[in-house]
Amino acid sequence: MKSFIGLPVIVLAGLAVSCAPRDPLGIPEPASSVTRADVITTAYAYTQVTWMPAERHVKHGDDGSGITVHTPDVSLNRRGFANGWWEPGKTMYGMPYQWGGFDTPKEFLNSLEYGEFAGDISTSSKRILGDAGTSQKSCGIDCSGFVSRCWRLERPYSTKQLPSISKPLKSSLLLQAGDILLNDQHVLIFKQWSQNGKSMLVYEAGPYPFWRVNAAEIPVKKLHAEGYWPRRYVGIRD
């Protein structure tokens, strides 16, 4: 897997501004339908969120409400987990993954100002707890929350709930921009096929290669081996 983001970025007043036609903080309001172009523009915007973490945004342990939090900062790698990436005092790009998270870029930056923890990784215990494992003291977005924002849904739909508002495609060859690839634990947004047709360019909110909203190129064989199946949102339009 490799990143396919290579657009020039200029940091202005805490934002990463690129060739994208819309301010990265300008996530559209919920609506009954969404265009394919808007799905991809919103997904891209999440990868361009620019922020400066501090030590107060790090947490490994009880959040004060009985919920264990592990932020995906660089110290995560010393706590039995992999792929911690953000570092206090350094400019970071991309919104971090948060179990149960549904923040817009603006909400995320505001939450950091209030001192909330930056992200919270998925663990086996959180998967057992479900929504009860979501910390109200953390900020960020998870994989299905990310899809829900990009599809302009009123609330976050879990990976188990996404099939209720989407239809299966008979073949991955029918995928178009803004469709998803879903298995029993994770969901990806399809952008386009690679030039050789052997891999797909996708957007996702973690977990690989880092716990953040990321753009990546994934081999089709890998997706099939991991049980991903293509689906299309019933409210998407060209």
Q: What CA–CA distance (Å, rounded) separates 165 from 178?
A: 14
Q: What is the mean pLDDT of the chain?
A: 90
Q: What CA–CA distance (Å, rounded) separates 28 from 31?
A: 8
Q: What CA–CA distance (Å, rounded) separates 181 from 169?
A: 10
pLDDT score for 208: 75
Residue range 77-111, pLDDT digits in tens: 999 999 999 999 999 999 999 999 999 999 999 99
How far, rounded to the nearest angstrom, does the alpha carbon of residue 76 sit from its chain's CA centroid?
A: 19
In terms of Cα–Cα distance, which of 224, 218, 213, 228 is closest to 96?
213
Q: What CA–CA distance (Å, rounded) separates 70 from 136?
A: 13
Angle at which helices 36-47 and 143-150 cross, to 10°: 130
In terms of Cα–Cα distance, which of 213, 192, 215, 189 is closest to 39?
189
Residue range 144-162, pLDDT digits in tens: 999 999 999 999 999 999 9
- For residue 21, the one-letter residue type is P
